[in-house]
Amino acid sequence: MKISQLLLFVMSFVATPNISVAAPLLVFADQHSGHKHDAEIHTQLTLNDGKKWRTDDALRHAMTNIRISVTNTLTAIHSDNLKSMQYDVLTKSIEKEIAFIVAHCKLDPKADENLHIILGRFAIEMDIVKAKRGTQEKELGVINMAETLNTYGKYFDHPGWRAIEFNSH
């Protein structure tokens, strides 16, 4: 499956298609089409011969910022202090960081394929958080974002990265 097909596939499962979430990922696919993506793109994350994938400064910067935003939102959820507008702040923050990744991140093509999977998961969860759904569904979307960040840390070499510890509400 080529990256453009993967993104269309991912977006087909999103309950409320949201072009603002998909746009950075579609641009990401376009800009990365220069890579040799003739082979199928895998939907399962893989390690680099048993090791984590190398990262660059741009990716580490953006993922750290996403982690901070998700952690702050989880803290507000667990202390029952989350205001509905904070979900919008979270998704806009993540969209900004994904756009930064698109513009600045330069990874090995195989690492790039794995990053596409991570970003696709964020696209799905951001759409859930942005949709007009109940609070529990939005909270689950944020929890899934935290799990995606933890997965990122298992597959990408990001010095100083710590898993997010949380309990479901």
Residue 151 banded pLDDT, cuts 50, 70, 90:
very high
Is the residue at 42 inside a domain? no
Is the residue at 131 inside a domain? yes
Residue 94's pLDDT is: 96
Beta bridge partners of 156: 53
Is the residue at 60 inside a domain? yes
Q: Tell me: the pLDDT tens digits for 3-56?
A: 444 444 444 444 334 444 444 444 444 444 444 444 444 579 999 999 999 999
Please tell me the total count of domains within the chain.
1
Is the residue at 127 inside a domain? yes
Query: Model-level pTM?
Result: 0.76
Is the residue at 162 inside a domain? no
Is the residue at 167 inside a domain? no
Is the residue at 49 inside a domain? no
Domain span at 79: 3-9+19-33+54-155
Is the residue at 41 inside a domain? no
The string of DSSP codes covering the chain is: --HHHHHHHHHHT-SS--HHHHHHHHHHHHHGGGS---SPPPSS---BTTBPBP--HHHHHHHHHHHHHHHHHHHHHHTT---THHHHHHHHHHHHHHHHHHHH----HHHHHHHHHHHHHHHHHHHHHHSS--HHHHHHHHHHHHHHHHHHHHHB--TT--PPP----
